[in-house]
Chains A and B, each alone.
Chain A
């Protein structure tokens, strides 16, 4: 691959998905695109790039862009976030919603570990008199497919998942581990590009978007933030990474006791 080709790929990723790709990271780009070129039947990455330039075939463009996302996820990542969500926030939101379901969206769900952690919690101890609806979205069709399959490698099921939960919710399929149908059925999936209009998804009581924003370009990040905040139900909570510099400027206030949690109103509201 030439530097010019890498620049083309970086620009493509920024335009289509707002992804921040450093064109100087030759090894990263090459190693991500080589499998795409192979799958699409090209003999080299350069040939793939040539085809992308000339034909702009959507499925190929997205195969390349998706390959440049760097999913980094684990079950029950930041355990205190899940604890806090489940023990305090969900019951509090449910009381306020008075009968209507609590809707939770895992935005940028990658291979599904975050939303499945919530689904496992739901299966273990559903809060009484509360319906919880779990939604998950990602840019990548391949990752969504993997997430929906519920199949994880031995390495993946050892990231954040306790042995008790492993034996409770999974069964072995050859060398992989399959999440039970009961847990999987709690989640609805959709492909969503966070820099596009997300209003069609409706409003949510809790939106989780962790380890996603940092991979976006500045304008894409601003657009994504706008969409995420716009998707909040009045009184809803947005859970981001721990340090989000633009939160205050967007009128978001940290939620006490919930790392990375932000609300649109006073902070005491949910913790109370």
Chain B
């Protein structure tokens, strides 16, 4: 079974996202910020990461930069999921190594399509 790490500081968003991603056939783990997410990745590199931008401790961009430097850290497909909807911000995320980008609010259909576009459906 493919694995997906859902990283968001909102418990509500994590819960909603978890249900959607589980429906796509993933086993889901959750992290509340970038630090926690990196710890998860050290333990077991996931196939996909659904990643919020603004979080306490360590935000999404910082996490992504560090993840890509980890052994095996180039493999996970990283899909940002943020309220940031300026194209400059989205470009920045892609340039940092994100595979796809979801602007909040999202629904199951958008998540499914973005996972497919990222090649991890």
Contact = CB atoms under 8 A, between A and B. Distances in A.
A and B: bona fide binding partners: yes
Interface of A: 154-155, 158-160, 162-164, 166-167, 170-172
A166 B113 contact: no
Nearest to A162: B117
Interface stretch (B38-46, B59-67, B85-93): B85-93
Contact of B110 (A159, A166, A167, A172): A159
Contact of A167 (B90, B106, B117): B90
A158 B103 contact: yes
Contacts of B100: 162-163
A113 to B, nearest CB: 13
Given A163-B90, A163-B114, A167-B90, 18 more contacts: A154-B85, A154-B103, A158-B102, A158-B103, A158-B106, A158-B113, A159-B109, A159-B110, A160-B113, A162-B100, A163-B101, A163-B117, A166-B101, A167-B87, A167-B91, A171-B87, A172-B85, A172-B86
Contacts of A154: 85, 103
Interface string B91-109: 1011000101111001001
Interface in B75-91: 85-87, 90-91
Nearest to B99: A163
Interface residues of B, number: 18
A239 B102 CA distance: 30
A167 B100 CA distance: 11
Contacts of A164: 94
Nearest to B86: A172
B110 to A, nearest CB: 5
Contact of B94 (A163, A170, A171): A163
